[in-house]
Structure 1
Amino acid sequence: MAKQPMLKFVTTEREMPVKREADLRRTDFDEIYAEYALAKAEEQASRCSQCGVPYCQSHCPLHNNIPDWLRLTAMDRLEEAYEISQATNTFPEICGRICPQDRLCEGNCVIEQSGHGTVTIGAVEKFITDTAWEKGWVKPAAPARERAESVGIIGAGPGGLAAADMLRRAGVQVTVYDRYDRAGGLLTYGIPGFKLEKDVVMRRIEQLEQGGVRLVMSCAVGVDMSFEDIRAQHDAVIIATGVYKSRDLGGPGAGAQGIVKAIDYLTASNRAANFGDSVPEFESGELNAKGKRVVVIGGGDTAMDCVRTAIRQGAESVKCLYRRDRANMPGSQREVANAEEEGVQFEWLTAPKGFKGEPVSAVVVQKMRLGAPDATGRQSPELIEGSDYDEPADLVIKALGFEPEALPTLWGCPELEVTRWGTIKAEFTTGKTALPGVYAIGDIVRGASLVVWAIRDGRDCAESILGEFAARSAVAAE
C-alpha cells in the first residue's frame, strides 16, 4: 500500500520559511523571507487535509487548485504542481509573495480553524514557481497559429499583463500602452522590493515580450496618443489603468512642504533603491526619509509599505497614525507584525487635525474612540474632545488610498460611462463597457483592490474577448 503523503497537520507543525532578523533586513530592500528547501516544502505541503470542500480554493479570487498542487508538491511532482498552479494564475510567484493570504486562502484553511495552524499556502506557491523558473519550465507564449485580431491594452499593471498573456497564447496580436518607462504598474513602482524583488517582475515582462506582446512605454493616453487612435488600431481595447489619484488631506497647514503622497514616495524609493535610477526628489531629500521623523497617515497595505520603506531609508523615527484600532485596520496583520519588528510605532485611534510649520514640523493629532457601526458593520471612529497633541514630524506621508482619474475628460471621450465614484462602468465578469469593443478591468472598475483580483479580471476579460472573436469568425464563415 502506498504511503499516505497528506493529512500530516496532526504530527507536523506549521513552519514558515526562515525570516531574516529585523536588525538585518531593515538595512536593505531584499525580500525578508528565505526560500523553502525541497524537503521543507514537501513537509509543509503534506499538512494539507485535502478537504472535500476546499475553503482555501473557494476564497481565492482565482479559485486556484490549491489542494491539488499541495498534494503534488508533497509527492515531489513539482513540474505537475507548477502546471496546475499556472493553469489558473498568470503570475503565481508574485501572488505567493504579495497576496494577503491571511485574509484569503490561509485565513480560510480548515485546519487553521481547528487549531492546528494553517498550511503555508503562499510560501509553497512561491517555491513551486521559483523552482519552475530555475528548471526552465516557464515558457513564453508560443501560439499554435497566429490570429489576425488585434487587442490594445491601456495599462501594464497586473490586470493588463494577465489579459495580454492569455490573449497572446491564443495567437491574438497584443499591444500594451503605459505611461511609465517600465511595465508592471504597482508591481514595479508601488510595492517595495522587500515584498517583491524587482527581478521577479522584470523576468515576467521579458517573458511576455519574448512571447510576442508589444509594449509601448512612456505613452500617456490623451497626451502622446489619443484614445480614439488606439481604438482605431485595434479590434478591441482593454482599459486597465488602475487608480493612481491619491486621496487628500485637509486641515490647517495641509499644503506645507514635507507633506507628500504615498505613491510619489514609493515610486521614488523603488526607482532609486531597486533600479538605481537618478531621482532628483529623492537625492534632494524631498522624498527620502533618511534622518527624519516620519509620520505615515493611513492603515492599509500602502501605509505598511511606506513605514517599512522609511525604516530602510534610515529614518530617525517612524510612526503610523490610524483612526481605528488594530483589529479594524484594512492592512495585513502579517505586515503590521513585520513593521513592528523593524521598529515602526503604531498610534491606534488617532487622526490628523492639522499641521504646523513650513516646512512641516509637527502633526496636530486628535485621539479617537470607536462608536456605533457604520453601513459596513465596522465601528465608526469618533473624536475625543480636548485630546489633541502635537506629534513632531519632518516628513508626513499621506497613505489614505487611491481614487480613479477622470478618464472621460483626460481622454476626450465623454461617452465613456463612469459610476458616481468615477470608476468605469463595466460588466464584472466580462469587462464590457457601453462602448463597442471597449473593455475595462481591475481597479479602474472595482476601485482600489488587490493584485489577485486584477489578475482575475484580466483573465476573465481575455476569455470574453476570445469568445467574441470566435463568434465573429463563425458568422463570417457561414
Structure 2
Amino acid sequence: MATNKMLRFVSLERQTPEKRTAADRTDDFEEIYREFAADRAAEQASRCSQCGVPYCQTHCPLHNNIPDWLRLTAEGRLREAYEISQATNTFPEICGRICPQDRLCEGNCVIEQSGHGTVTIGAVEKYIVDTAFEEGWVEPIRPYAEREESVGIIGAGPGGLAAADMLRRAGVQVTVYDRYDRAGGLLTYGIPGFKLEKDVVMRRNAQLEEGGVTFVLNCEVGRDITFDEIRAKHDAVIVATGVYKSRELAGENHDADGIVRAIDYLTASNRKSFGDAVPEFDSGALSAEGKRVVVIGGGDTAMDCVRTAIRQGATSVKCLYRRDRANMPGSQREVQNAEEEGVEFVWLTAPAGFEAGAAVHDAGSPLVQLSVSGVKVQRMKLGAPDATGRQKPELIEGADYIEPADLVVKALGFEPEELPTLWEKPELEVTRWGTIKADFRTHETPLDGVYAVGDIVRGASLVVWAIRDGREAAEAILDRFAAASASVAAE
C-alpha cells in the first residue's frame, strides 16, 4: 500500500543534499547545495508523518500541499508531485532554494517537534521542479481563450511576475513595466548566484514572455512614462515595485568613499555574473577584492553581502550586528554557511561613525573626497525587551574601538520610495511607514482598479509572501472582470 512508503522518520535520519566544501564553493558563485538523487529525495520524502493537521502547510504563506507532494515523491510519482506543487506556488523551485524553511514549513514540522528532525521540505521541492524542467513537464502558458481585458503591472519582481503568470493563463493581456534591463527584481539582481543561480530565474522569465506577457524594461515610472498613462492603457494596474530605498547611517564621515549600499554592491556583483560591463565594479568602488570589508546589519541581505565579499577575494570580512546571534533576523543556516566560508561575526556592536583619510590619485595628489579607513564601533549589551519583545541593545560606555576597513557595506534594510511624490499622484494613499494602503484580501487600493502587492505594502519581507500577494491580486482582478462581464450581459 502507498502508506507503507511513509512514516519512516523513526528509522531514517534527516539528511540534506550534499553541501560543497567551503574551500570549493568560495571560488565561484554557483549554488552550494547539490541536487538530491532520485532515491535520496524519495527516501527523505518518506519521512513525512502525513499528519492530520499539517503545520508545515499551515505555516507556509502559500499553504502549499506539502504532505501530498511529499507522498507522491516517495512513491516515485514525480510528475504528479510537480503538478500539485505548481498548483499553489508560481515559482516552487525558487522558494525551495531561498525560503527560510527553518522559520516556516520545516520549523513547524510535527516530527521536528517530537525530536526526530524535520523533513527536508525545501530540498525536495527544489528537486521536484528541477526534474520537471529537465523532463519537459513544465508546459508553456497557453490560455484556453484570449480576453480583451488588459492589466499593467509595475515591477517585475516575484509579486508582479506571480500575478502576470496567473492573469496570462486566464487569457488576460498583461504588460509588465520595470526599471531594470532584466525581469526578476531582487531575484535577478539582489540575491547572489550561490543561493539562486540566475538561469533558474531567466527560464521563468522566458516562460512568461513566450506565453504572451509583454515586458517593457528600462522603464522608470515617473520618468519614462507616467502612472496616469499606465492607468489609461489598462483596465487594472498592479503596483509591485518592492522597496529599494536603503536605510542610511549617520555619524562622522558617513558619506566617505568606500561606504556603499548593499543593493548597489549586490547588483554590481550580479551584473558581473551576467557578463555585463560594470564600471563601478571594474574601478574597484563596488568590489571587495584585496580589501578589509565590514558589513553592517544582521539580516539575510547582510549574509548575502559578506558571502559575496569572500568570493570576490576580500582579505578579511567582518559583520557587525547590534544584538547577539540568537536575536539576529537572518537565517541561522546562512550564518553557519558564512562562518564556514571565513566570515567573522562581531556580535553586540554598532557603528558610531567612520574614520576616513584623503584619497590619493595615482599621481600622488590628494582628493577632496575622503575615503573610509575604519568604523568607529560601539560595544553593546542587551537590556530590557522593546515593544516587539526583543531585548533592546544598550551602549556600554567607554568600550568603543576602531575596526579597520577599506569597504563598508550598509545592509540595514530597505524602506519604500515616496511613490506619491515620484509619480505625482498624491491621492495614492500610504501608511505612516510609506507603504501603500491596500485591502489585505483583494489588495485593491483606494484608487479604483489599482492594486498593490508585496514589499511595497508589507515592507521588506519574504519572496514567498510577495508570490502569495501577487496570486491573490490576480484572483481579485479576475473576479472584477467577471463581475463586469456579468453586469454587461444582464443589461
**With structure 2 as the length reference, what TM-score do the two structures score?**
0.97
Counterpart residue identity of residue 23, structure 1 = A
Alignment of 1:106-255 (within 5 A): 106-255=106-255
Contact kept, 8 Å, 2:2 with 2:75, in 1: the verdict is no
Aligned equivalent of 2:486: 474
Aligned equivalent of 1:320: 319
Q: Equivalents in 1 of 2:441, 2:5: separation in Å?
A: 37
Q: Equivalents in 2 of 1:284, 1:112: separation in Å?
A: 49
Please tell me whether residue 384 in structure 1 is matched to residue 383 in structure 2: no
Contact kept, 8 Å, 2:73 with 2:81, in 1: the verdict is yes
Q: Equivalents in 2 of 1:12, 1:100: separation in Å?
A: 24
Across the aligned residues of Structure 1 and Structure 2, the Cα RMSD in angstroms comes to 0.6
Q: Equivalents in 2 of 1:179, 1:354: separation in Å?
A: 33
Please tell me whether residue 432 in structure 1 is matched to residue 431 in structure 2: no
Q: Equivalents in 2 of 1:32, 1:171: separation in Å?
A: 39
Counterpart residue identity of residue 314, structure 1 = G
Please tell me whether residue 95 in structure 1 is matched to residue 95 in structure 2: yes
Please tell me whether residue 448 in structure 1 is matched to residue 460 in structure 2: yes
Q: Equivalents in 1 of 2:139, 2:259: separation in Å?
A: 45
- Give the drift of 1:9: 0.5
Aligned equivalent of 2:72: 72
Q: Equivalents in 1 of 2:55, 2:488: separation in Å?
A: 44
1:362 to 374, 391, 406: 374
- Give the drift of 1:34: 0.3
Deviations 1:234-292 (A, max 9, x none): 000000000000000001111111000000000000000x2010100000000000000
Deviations 1:110-150 (A, max 9, x none): 11111111100000000000000001111121111111000
- Give the drift of 1:4: 0.1
Aligned equivalent of 2:418: 406
Q: Equivalents in 2 of 1:131, 1:82: separation in Å?
A: 9
Tell me the secondary structure at the aligned position of residue 421 of structure 2.
helix
Tell me the secondary structure at the aligned position of residue 212 of structure 1.
coil
Tell me the secondary structure at the aligned position of residue 39 of structure 2.
helix
Q: Equivalents in 2 of 1:92, 1:238: separation in Å?
A: 22
Q: Equivalents in 1 of 2:263, 2:122: separation in Å?
A: 26
Residues 355 and 288 of structure 1, relative CA distance in 2, 3 Å threshold: same
Aligned equivalent of 2:55: 55
Counterpart residue identity of residue 372, structure 1 = A
Moved segments of 4+, more than 6 Å: none
Counterpart residue identity of residue 226, structure 2 = S
Aligned equivalent of 2:367: none
Counterpart residue identity of residue 434, structure 2 = G
Aligned equivalent of 1:40: 40
Contact kept, 8 Å, 2:59 with 2:108, in 1: the verdict is yes
Q: Equivalents in 1 of 2:402, 2:346: separation in Å?
A: 13
Counterpart residue identity of residue 208, structure 2 = L
Q: Equivalents in 1 of 2:373, 2:417: separation in Å?
A: 31
Counterpart residue identity of residue 243, structure 1 = V
Q: Equivalents in 1 of 2:105, 2:2: separation in Å?
A: 29
Q: Equivalents in 1 of 2:206, 2:48: separation in Å?
A: 34
Q: Equivalents in 1 of 2:442, 2:192: separation in Å?
A: 31
Aligned equivalent of 2:385: 373
Q: Equivalents in 2 of 1:140, 1:442: separation in Å?
A: 26
Q: Equivalents in 2 of 1:261, 1:187: separation in Å?
A: 18
Q: Equivalents in 2 of 1:295, 1:267: separation in Å?
A: 18
1:457 to 469, 480, 491: 469
> Tell me, which stretches of 5 or more residues in structure 1 are unaligned?
none
Q: Equivalents in 2 of 1:104, 1:82: separation in Å?
A: 20
Contact kept, 8 Å, 2:93 with 2:126, in 1: the verdict is yes
Contact kept, 8 Å, 2:191 with 2:266, in 1: the verdict is yes
Counterpart residue identity of residue 405, structure 1 = E
Q: Equivalents in 1 of 2:181, 2:3: separation in Å?
A: 53
Deviations 1:311-357 (A, max 9, x none): 00000000000000000000000000000000000000000011001
Q: Equivalents in 2 of 1:139, 1:245: separation in Å?
A: 37
Counterpart residue identity of residue 191, structure 1 = I
Aligned equivalent of 1:291: 290
Kindly tell me the number of residue pairs found equivalent between the two proteins. 477
Q: Equivalents in 1 of 2:139, 2:165: separation in Å?
A: 11
Q: Equivalents in 2 of 1:212, 1:88: separation in Å?
A: 21
Q: Equivalents in 1 of 2:112, 2:21: separation in Å?
A: 26
Tell me the secondary structure at the aligned position of residue 69 of structure 2.
helix
Aligned equivalent of 2:85: 85
Q: Equivalents in 1 of 2:460, 2:307: separation in Å?
A: 21
Q: Equivalents in 2 of 1:405, 1:2: separation in Å?
A: 52
Q: Equivalents in 1 of 2:401, 2:297: separation in Å?
A: 18
Deviations 1:377-435 (A, max 9, x none): 00000000000000000000000000000000000111100000000000121110000
Tell me the secondary structure at the aligned position of residue 359 of structure 1.
strand
Tell me the secondary structure at the aligned position of residue 361 of structure 1.
strand
